[in-house]
Structure 1
Amino acid sequence: MLQKKSTLMFIFGTTAMLSGPSLAETGCVAVAPQQPLPASSSARTISKINFIRHDIFDLSHPQTVWFHRFANEYHVITTEPTIRDDVLFREGEPLDLAVLAETERLLRSRRYLRQAEVQVTEYCESNQSVVVTVSTWDNWSLLPKISLGHEGGETKSNIGFAEDNLLGTGNQLQAEYFNDSERDGYQLRFLSPNIGGSHWQTAVQYADNSDGESYQFQLNKPFYRISSDWAFNFELSKEIKDISEYELGDEYNEYRSNRDYAEVSGGWKISHYDNQVQHLNVGVTLDDHHFLANDDSTRPQPADRDLSQIWLGWDWFQSDYQKMFNFFQFNKVEDINFGWQASIRLGKLNQGLGAYTTGWNLQATLAKNWQLTPSSWLTYRSEYHQLEGKALASQQLFSNQLRHIYHLTDHQVWISQFQWNVGKNLFRDQRITIGGDDGMRAFPLYYQTGNKSAIASTEYRYITSWHLYQLVDVALAAFVDAGRAWDNPDRTTPIDNDTLYGYGVGVRLLPSHASRGSIISIDLSKPVTDNPELSGWRWRLIAKRDF
């Protein structure tokens, strides 16, 4: 008996030594989520970072079936080094809760992660240190792309696959064959969002389309955090495609576009105070655009243009993020910035770089979100472009988008949006179109085209409690659209310039455990028009990131 007792004591003692001291023995206490740390006059340091990686599906969920277990079994979970590469703090550094929140937002921006939490989980008073735990939940990242859709009077299809988390490294690989109203062909794409933890990114894309070959190569290091000191971007691309011109959704002309584009730029932090940062950017852009007639051309093609330029830019960013739900999407955490965001860029056309004329190019953006009441918000974004050159007609475009989001209840959301564009002498291939993808959901693609447009839309969305086998969240919707595009100097026949109206009902599907995160909208809509070709109800299927 004594021998058995001695053996048990030896086992328990050895286990205790191997497992290390308990929280009580080290003077550390557990910290619950959202619990404030005890007051202290001295700075705290991060003594340890723990990583908890969750698989795609919770197998304890009552709706668990065989394919949930199959997905978890054959999915390569995001590796700890991949997650660690995105962590913006290190062991031994002072604790900064703002940096923890910034890391959480960066992790949530990775499409291969469904959710991320970065929290202080232990506090050690004896040495004023903390333990931080980084918890992540994976998305299903290998997505077959097999679809047949009909939207705005046109049929679209594609087949292929996209892997958004190749072997758990966060790299993306995509291959697909596609066919839509403009072209068909295949496309290959590779993207690495964080090369070796350096926060350098690279993207390589190649497409062989029915209207020509296209490619793109990009290597850049963005301002990936508010305290980043510098940024760099290099991009090289060639795009060959056929561009169609429409009236009332019917194609009447086509021509070929051949664009060669290259840009190299750098940016530097010039001031950083509290949650505000300013950057100075400088770059060189080569932009050569040629147009050719093809077999389906019925009108002369646009004039060639070269807008190569040297430019100087400035941007101002305020960081005031809040975690929101049912804002642009539904049933998922959305990081919404309520700070000001502004940028301006002034370029000088340079004939030494290939530009056809001298002149200047101005681009400016302004964005802000406001909380109006505890249950309503307003978002605003504005862009202004102006192009002036000796051999060019003065060109301007002022674009605005105003959106109001109102939570009637936790399950009911009313979203209203007004967008307007005022242009002057826009290039033919850059004119504003409405219909289908571009607002006016009850009308065909490219139904109206012009230098100016205005669209008002409202959508009521009821977010149901239906979660179909942990795969799809469901919302029901009803919407009304009104809009108009006008001032098209190249129209060939008198066309309907009246304001368009349409309404409909639909279903919104959110693949809750898939890396793409797009809302699938299935709509049944009816245009209000005297055009007999558009009588009756029309159906529409499209995947978009938000409303």
Structure 2
Amino acid sequence: MVKPIFDEENPKENNWLFRLANRLHIPTSRKVIRDDLLFKVDESIDQNLLDSSERSLNTRRYLNQASVEHVQNPCTGQSEVNVEVRDVWTLKPKLSFSHSGGNSNSNYGFEDSNFLGTGKAVSIMQFSNEQRSGSIIDYHDPNTGAYNSQLRLRYSDNDDGIEKRITLNRPFLDLSTKWTGEVNHDDTTMSESSYVGGEKIANFGHRKIVNSANYGRRIDSFSVDGKYANRVILGVSKEEDLFTPSVDSLTSRVLPEGRSNKSLWFEYQNIHDGYIKTSNVRQINRAEYFNLGNQFRARFGFVTSNLNSNDDGYIIQAENNVGTILNENHMILHNIVFNGHYTDNGLVDSVLESDVSWYWKNISYGQFLTQLSASKGYSLYQDHNIVLDGDTGMRGYPSHYQTGDRKVLFTMEQHFFGEREWFSLFHAGTAVFFDAGRAWGDANGSALAETSGNTGWIKDIGIGLRLSPTRTGNKEEGAHGVLHMDIVKPLDRSDGISNYQWRLSTEKRF
């Protein structure tokens, strides 16, 4: 059953404006909903597939409050599946301005994340930010109807280059999914900059071309439906990074070295089902799903370079995610990732990252979040570095404030979730937070980061309002967007940084 945007049987939602919205809105096609279900009519009931289908529907940007339940028909006594979703308004003119990390961003245009009720997303946008401005045409089909595949097309004409992207993929939808596959082409030209201590030290043009394909299978003999799955994926790719001097280059600094690599890789995954359903963790009064089961993947491959034999070597990647419920009020999530490239010269352009988050529901409709993350780079390419700034966790500081090859960030937040839905349009909450961190070491292949700018610990405190729209579509698949409006005080500011920073941004978390 597809419910309208507003419930006209509810007196609070039965007014002329909401009724008009219901009449103008094109409901989501029932076929779109059926295509997202992982079970078929007349199949025996499998609770794992029902749960996975509900999780999938709740990620769709054009739906809200999706539920998939097994019920007993009182008349026939037969088992039935009841699927209910609520539509949201998806056709939106886009006119926005945001300020974060000392930078201003603006865009205008329109987007429809459920074009004519088909579940397809279309957007046409003009944008401007610190790095570039231009126009974007974007198309995203989260389910083409053929093997639950997804299609993404994107074209962007910017003042510093062109972006062309096409991706067709079929993901592993749940533990019972038999196979996955993807083909991808991405050709992007842009202007980039190197920073030290928040200051630009070099400009250069960068063209990146990626062509890749992969195919994977679940190993049925080593998998148990509803408990765990073992999978293997084989992939090939070619990546090119070409650099040119910028006409307004700030320095004669040497350009990043061009790269052209071909790779063949093999990946193994071991995924355990430990999903829980909860609310008021990263969203406001919405169903949320966390897989606390161990999720492990490892990738190994071979790389050959067309430009520099020193880049020949091996791909080494590994990732592990796991969660723990201490009791009904305490949840800990941990993630560790290594993404590396090993050559005759040792590790090159490799990064080890880890973070741990502790969520404590310390009050009714509130929680205390503590998060610690760290990163360490090894012989990073000149155009790659680890950044700590207003866009990467230090909310009181400008873009690229600290750069290096290692970083530590500690965050504490107290969340207050509002219980009511304001004007039948959005949920609201507030947050009080403290950030402390540091990025240091080699940046862009140079030790300049050690001698330029503030390389010590920096801290900030702030307070913010959180708004979560309940009747409009989300920009991206997955977690619903939450509008952040923050006032932040940097505690270790240097010259050129205001006493207070204000931030307006949309995030995927509270």
Q: 1:423 aligns with which of 377, 396, 402?
A: 377
- AA matched with 1:195: T
Determine the structure 2 residue equivalent to 1:278: 230
Q: Which has the higher contact order (CA 8 A, sep 6+)?
A: 2
1:48-197 → structure 2 map (5 Å cutoff) = 52-64=1-13, 65-123=15-73, 129-196=78-145
Q: Secondary structure at the match of 1:92?
A: coil
Given the alignment of the two structures, is residue 296 of structure 1 paired with residue 248 of structure 2, yes or no? yes
Determine the structure 2 residue equivalent to 1:508: 466
Q: Which has the larger radius of gyration?
A: 1
CA drift of 1:436 comes to 1.0
- AA matched with 1:337: N
Determine the structure 1 residue equivalent to 2:297: 343
Given the alignment of the two structures, is residue 263 of structure 1 paired with residue 212 of structure 2, yes or no? yes
Determine the structure 1 residue equivalent to 2:477: none
2:261/2:305 contact within 8 Å kept: no
2:259/2:307 contact within 8 Å kept: no
Determine the structure 2 residue equivalent to 1:398: 352
CA drift of 1:107 comes to 1.2
CA drift of 1:476 comes to 1.1
TM-score by structure 2 length? 0.93
TM-score by structure 1 length? 0.87
Q: 1:521 aligns with which of 463, 473, 484?
A: 484
- AA matched with 1:503: I
CA distance in 2, matches of 1:86, 1:393: 42
- AA matched with 2:298: I
CA drift of 1:509 comes to 0.9
1:308/1:353 contact within 8 Å kept: no
CA drift of 1:357 comes to 3.9
1:145/1:158 contact within 8 Å kept: yes
CA distance in 2, matches of 1:266, 1:206: 26
1:253/1:296 contact within 8 Å kept: no
For the aligned residues, what is the CA RMSD? 2.0
2:187/2:210 contact within 8 Å kept: yes
Q: Secondary structure at the match of 2:12?
A: coil
Given the alignment of the two structures, is residue 217 of structure 1 paired with residue 217 of structure 2, yes or no? no
Determine the structure 2 residue equivalent to 1:199: 148
Per-residue deviation, residues 175-200 of structure 1 (Å, max 9, x unmatched): 11110011000111111111125301
Unaligned runs of 5+ in 2: 475-479
CA drift of 1:254 comes to 1.2
CA drift of 1:390 comes to 4.0
1:313/1:345 contact within 8 Å kept: yes
CA drift of 1:422 comes to 1.1
Q: 1:457 aligns with which of 404, 411, 427?
A: 411
Q: Judging changes above 3 Å, is the alpha-carbon distance between structure 1 residues 519 and 233 closer, same or farther for their aligned structure 2 residues?
A: same
CA drift of 1:538 comes to 1.2
CA drift of 1:143 comes to 2.4
Determine the structure 2 residue equivalent to 1:23: none
Q: Judging changes above 3 Å, is the alpha-carbon distance between structure 1 residues 528 and 277 closer, same or farther for their aligned structure 2 residues?
A: same
Unaligned runs of 5+ in 1: 1-51
CA distance in 2, matches of 1:355, 1:284: 19
2:259/2:305 contact within 8 Å kept: no
Q: 2:176 aligns with which of 227, 245, 256?
A: 227
- AA matched with 1:294: S
The range that moved more, 152-161 or 240-249, is 240-249
State the identity %: 28
Q: Judging changes above 3 Å, is the alpha-carbon distance between structure 1 residues 422 and 357 closer, same or farther for their aligned structure 2 residues?
A: closer
Given the alignment of the two structures, is residue 313 of structure 1 paired with residue 284 of structure 2, yes or no? no
Q: Judging changes above 3 Å, is the alpha-carbon distance between structure 1 residues 419 and 487 closer, same or farther for their aligned structure 2 residues?
A: same
CA distance in 1, matches of 2:52, 2:235: 28
Per-residue deviation, residues 378-399 of structure 1 (Å, max 9, x unmatched): 1111110221224786343110
- AA matched with 2:229: V
2:163/2:189 contact within 8 Å kept: yes
Q: Judging changes above 3 Å, is the alpha-carbon distance between structure 1 residues 284 and 356 closer, same or farther for their aligned structure 2 residues?
A: farther
Determine the structure 2 residue equivalent to 1:287: 239
